[in-house]
Amino acid sequence: MFQVIGERINTSRKKVQAAVVARDVKYIQEDVRSQQEAGAHFIDVNGGARIGHEQEDMQWLLETIAPVVTVPICLDSPDPTILEMAYTLVKEQPMVNSISLEKERFEVMMPFLKGKKCKIVALCMDDSGMPGSSTDILNRAEQLVTALVGIGMKLDDIYLDPLIQPISTDSGKGTMVLDAVRQIKKQFPEVHITGGLSNISYGLPERKIINRTFVTLMMAAGMDSAIIDPLDEKIMATIKTADMLNGKDIFCMNYLKGVRTGVIKS
């Protein structure tokens, strides 16, 4: 089944930042509840937008969320000292977002991950920048999987992010990432594919229709997770329907349940 990582608890979103500054417990808890009700499998928590306040904001967010959260948390920070602190504040095995092949991040994240029980988002990014071809993405995916398996991580705990790039700047960016995902899934069927879906539509109007259409193409290629807003009802309905068409919904139960609860409409 497709796994939704709910992206809303992020201090780069204005309302969340205001709630964090005001220490508004109710707002944050309500948001987490509504994401869970909408079907989020993970709640991403990113407290990095207020420069110089990440430590306190992350800690406050995690303590605030703890009483209401019923799904695993996705700890989102580039800073291992923040992650180390955050890791001690979660009860259930978290997802960690993220590691990449960029030397500075890779070298501090590997010792952090070693021996820990968690899921990991692995970005196909290295010091030369964004990947330029599907082969590029595949090579980076191989390096990441090899390294992570090498320190004892299970394939099922690895969530590769192939880095979706804007189609507006190069009309080949869609097929590039689709090809890469097919190749990665062929080589590592147990590894998950996730990512920030909305990058595809950057610079174009009516972005949501692009995002919804693209997620179905990506799901056919093998993407089985995404970092999205679970309160976007249309994309959630599209994902549930595509999951069924992909053979992931036995007896179409989730689809029918979605229709009966009013979540899925034609």
- Cβ–Cβ < 8 Å for 32, 255: no
Of residues 49, 66, 220, 259, which one binds another protein by CB under 8 A?
49
**Is position 18 an interface residue for another protein (rule: CB under 8 A)?**
no
Instruction: For residue 100, say if its preceding peptide bond is cis, omega within 30 degrees of 0.
Output: no
Q: Give Cβ neighbours of residue 239 (< 8 Å, ≥ 6 apart).
A: 2, 4, 215, 219, 226
If the CB atoms of residues 93 and 168 are measured against another protein, the closer one turns out to be 168
User: Could you tell me the smallest distance in angstroms from the CB atom of residue 264 to another protein?
Assistant: 31
**Is position 125 an interface residue for another protein (rule: CB under 8 A)?**
yes
**Is position 21 an interface residue for another protein (rule: CB under 8 A)?**
no
Quickly list DSSP for 48-61: -SSTT-HHHHHHHH
Of residues 22, 67, 88, 171, which one binds another protein by CB under 8 A?
171
**Is position 168 an interface residue for another protein (rule: CB under 8 A)?**
yes
Placement of tokens 């068409």 in the chain: 245
Quickly list DSSP for 170-205: -TTHHHHHHHHHHHHHHH-TTSEE--BGGGGGTTSS
If the CB atoms of residues 115 and 129 are measured against another protein, the closer one turns out to be 129
**Is position 51 an interface residue for another protein (rule: CB under 8 A)?**
yes
Helix (H) or strand (E) holding 258: helix 253-260
Q: Is the dihedral of CA 151, 144, 45, 244 positive or negative?
A: negative
Binding span for another protein by CB under 8 A among 15-23, 34-42, 47-55, 234-242:
47-55
If the CB atoms of residues 78 and 230 are measured against another protein, the closer one turns out to be 78
Binding span for another protein by CB under 8 A among 108-116, 123-131, 146-154, 235-243:
123-131
Other CB atoms within a 10 A radius of the CB of residue 127 amount to: 11
Contact set with another protein (CB under 8 A): 12, 48-49, 51, 78-79, 102, 104, 125, 127, 129-130, 165-166, 168-169, 171, 202-205
